[in-house]
Structure 1
Amino acid sequence: MNWVEIKALNKLYHTGEVKLNQTLAKSPVFKNHCNALEIKRERKSFSRKDVFIEVYEKRYLKDFEKYESFLDEEGLLKPQLRFNKKDIELLIQFKEGIADGSLLKLKRDLEEAQESVRGFSLMFFKNDKYLDGKTLLIDAINSIFGIILVDNKSQQYLYILQCHKPKLIILCENVNFLNRDKIPRENGYELWYAGGRNIPKLEYTYNIRREMSIYYSADWDKDGLEIYQLAKDKIPDLQLLHPDGIPRSIKRTDHKSHWKHPDKPELISGLKEEYYSLKDLKLIKELIINNQWITEEGNSLKTMIKNITQKD
């Protein structure tokens, strides 16, 4: 249920009628109340019956007053507001946590890590892309925490995050890690970003690699590993970093990259077996069996590099 529905229910409670619009016409909440004979859908409006007054006061009134007060205090009561109920409740928790000090360490960690919009989205919402395009919600988060989450818009060029004494190169599938310079620069990691599948340019990078080892940081899903293979075709000595992040449900996160042949994990989704270690292949099969994936941003660059260099 979003703010449009929440506000409309309150208006229906106070005035007895609310105009029909596209949101309310598709609203399962309004449909349920119609089915329960508590409200009635007219040609251009909804009207309430007397029984709805008691239902509203029991189910909704207290929450509405709480939400409206919070949104008003934060300057968010705007015509374009479409926050859903869970968004509002989470923002209230953030504000209360900052006020009572329980989230001050998180605030410092977000600042220290130069956290991105997608990184924050991965922490608190159902997937890393949930906040994409939700400018008003991002602004509210920034305002409550007193921070600025790093934008995650990508450009189709080869970006390089340089450091004073580079020890190795990490080619990243996504731009997230390049937006946070502290850890790479402190550890001598030079980060490259080519722009997802836009990797043909990599065949021209031989002269700028300076004979350093080069590694690949990927989303561990079908698309991410296919991109890794395309990149390795351009850079044969490219080494895949094994993830340390937590696998996430593809279904529950509404992820768009789905494994091929889910009933035959031994086919490893049509990937090229020779591109992977036995450890990699074991993980890929487990992800396919469990219908899971591992997002690149959920990994630690330091841990992945430590594990692969110790192995070497």
Structure 2
Amino acid sequence: MKHIEWKYLVGLHKLYTDGKTKLKILNNDYINLILFKQKKLIRFKSGNHSIIEANQRYTEFYKLELLDTHNYYNTFFEQSGIENNAKKTFTQEDLEALMFVYYNKKELQEKLTTVKKFSARVFRNENSKYLENKPSLKTAVLQLLEVNEFPEKDPKNQQWRFVIDCDNPKAIVLCENLDCLKIPVEYKKNNIELWYVGGNNTKPLQDIQQDKLQLPIYYFCDWDYAGLNIYSKVKEIFHNKNKEIQIIQPPANAKRLPVGVKHHKSKWKKEDFSGLTEGNFSQEQVDFINQLISDNEWVEEESMDLINLLDADLS
């Protein structure tokens, strides 16, 4: 999905339905740089720069690229009861998280954790006090969960498994992080079924039914110590089921980040190969990981294009 917040999607949808809008959609970088300047799908009305118009090619582009995403957001607002107000101070991640909570309400209600652990898991790019510092967002989350407050203590049973089903899956991707599951439109369109089992909590995978094991299964994660260590555990679980899984490998030109970057807690170990099992990786992957360890860097899951990488592997 393109990084377009709801208030800008409203303007783009207005262009689709009415052919014009007065909303300030050019404040969004993607709309301004790609749709306006590069593709020239939209333009200022002649003699009036307060109105933006769509050209003849815009309708086809919007239907193909953005209509499903708009409808996904819009359905959430209509069904959830959350006020559809573009002036609210919800970031894009906030909104995606609210949708995830809504569509996975039953599972979250049954396994509700403390507000700090919930915040750290669902809002991965923020700290554990994020929800507590955004009372309107916390209120919306509690409204969606239909509870008055988060529990003060963590329950013993934290066996999460969230699934984003699709009609005719061609592959299953286990995600270390929740981000892909928050906006699953593109993955469903590409027949990719997404699973999330709570990061280091791999126990639910032991109960996966056999019919799911007929599909190719991949693991999508941060290429840091934590992500690769969890992959090794997941790989062993499936190996015991006589099913081999593959890890989604970053492209050679993947963006690398310093291990000490803000909000990143996973550090490489001082042991050889960081204590990971080399046999769980191909020689190319071992070389790549050793380079990351040597440079004290990592590759973030969100920086990789899962659909393109998976298409290349499946084709």
Q: TM-score, structure 1 length as denominator? A: 0.53
Q: Deviations over 1:126-176 (max 9, x none)?
A: x962365434987999xxxxxxxxxxxxx7411110011111100111111
SS in 2 for 1:225: helix
Q: Residue type matched to 2:212 in 1?
A: R
C-alpha distance 135-198 of structure 1, shift in aligned 2 (>3 A): closer
SS in 1 for 2:284: helix
1:260 equivalent in alignment to 2:269: yes
Give the 5 Å matches for 1:167-178. Answer: 167-178=170-181
C-alpha distance 117-289 of structure 1, shift in aligned 2 (>3 A): farther
Q: Is the 8 A contact 1:221 1:257 kept in 2?
A: yes
* Equivalent residue number for residue 14 of structure 1: none
1:129 equivalent in alignment to 2:133: no
Alignment partners' CA distance in 1, 2:25 and 2:166: 39
Q: Is the 8 A contact 1:222 1:259 kept in 2?
A: yes
2:307 to 302, 306, 310: 302
Alignment partners' CA distance in 2, 1:128 and 1:200: 21
Q: Deviations over 1:237-263 (max 9, x none)?
A: 1111102441111123352110012xx
Q: Is the 8 A contact 2:166 2:188 kept in 1?
A: yes
Alignment partners' CA distance in 1, 2:25 and 2:213: 51
Q: Is the 8 A contact 1:160 1:190 kept in 2?
A: yes
1:240 equivalent in alignment to 2:217: no
SS in 1 for 2:199: coil
1:104 to partner: Cα distance: 6.0
C-alpha distance 210-274 of structure 1, shift in aligned 2 (>3 A): closer
Alignment partners' CA distance in 1, 2:162 and 2:220: 15
Q: Deviations over 1:6-45 (max 9, x none)?
A: xxxxxxxxxxxxxxxxxxxxxxxxxxxxxxxxxxxxxxxx
Q: Which runs of 5+ in 2 are unaligned?
A: 1-22, 36-64, 74-91, 98-122, 138-157
* Equivalent residue number for residue 225 of structure 2: 222
Alignment partners' CA distance in 1, 2:133 and 2:25: 22
SS in 1 for 2:174: strand
Larger radius of gyration: 1
Q: Is the 8 A contact 1:247 1:292 kept in 2?
A: yes
Give the 5 Å matches for 1:28-177. Answer: 101-103=26-28, 105=30, 116-117=93-94, 129-130=125-126, 133-135=129-131, 156-177=159-180
Q: Residue type matched to 2:245 in 1?
A: L
C-alpha distance 289-221 of structure 1, shift in aligned 2 (>3 A): same
1:249 equivalent in alignment to 2:258: yes
Q: Residue type matched to 2:261 in 1?
A: R
Q: Is the 8 A contact 1:117 1:138 kept in 2?
A: no
Alignment partners' CA distance in 2, 1:280 and 1:118: 35
Q: Residue type matched to 1:227 in 2?
A: I
Q: Which runs of 5+ in 1 are unaligned?
A: 1-97, 121-126, 142-154
Q: Residue type matched to 2:269 in 1?
A: K
2:199 to 184, 196, 200: 196
Give the 5 Å matches for 1:1-20. Answer: none
C-alpha distance 135-197 of structure 1, shift in aligned 2 (>3 A): closer
Alignment partners' CA distance in 1, 2:301 and 2:95: 11
Q: Is the 8 A contact 1:226 1:271 kept in 2?
A: yes
SS in 2 for 1:116: helix
Alignment partners' CA distance in 2, 1:180 and 1:260: 33
C-alpha distance 210-260 of structure 1, shift in aligned 2 (>3 A): closer
Q: Residue type matched to 2:125 in 1?
A: K
Alignment partners' CA distance in 2, 1:176 and 1:224: 14
C-alpha distance 206-234 of structure 1, shift in aligned 2 (>3 A): farther
Alignment partners' CA distance in 2, 1:162 and 1:295: 25
SS in 2 for 1:195: coil
* Equivalent residue number for residue 207 of structure 1: 210
Q: Residue type matched to 1:170 in 2?
A: V
Q: Is the 8 A contact 2:172 2:218 kept in 1?
A: yes
